Amino acid sequence: MFGTRKIIKYFPLNASSSFVKYAGNQIFSPDINSWDSIYVANPSILKNGGLYKMWYSGNSGGSQWKIGYAHSSNGINAWTRFSQTVIDVGS
């Protein structure tokens, strides 16, 4: 109905400063039962102490994008997302 679902992937730098594909991709994907059920995109990730914090854009297929928040202890997997949006654009 909306085409391909959008996900967030991880591409680390190798020793020669080239991006390489991470074997465990995808690291963050849409939540089928949530406001970001079709698209997640445009992540901004900050490390604060031992916690990686990510703000990202999400959409359930409509015209209104929202901003969500998730955190992880290693920044690659086991992301815990907040169920509510941080910013509901246009409301």
Q: How many residues does the chain have?
A: 91
Per-residue pLDDT at 76: 85
Confidence band (pLDDT; 50, 70, 90) for 5?
low
Average pLDDT of 66-86?
Answer: 91
Residue type at position 2: F
> Residue 84: is the preceding peptide bond cis (ω within 30°)?
no
Per-residue pLDDT at 17: 74
User: Could you read off the pLDDT of 24-74 as tens digits, one per residue?
Assistant: 777 888 898 899 998 898 999 999 999 999 999 998 887 788 999 999 999
- DSSP at 28: B
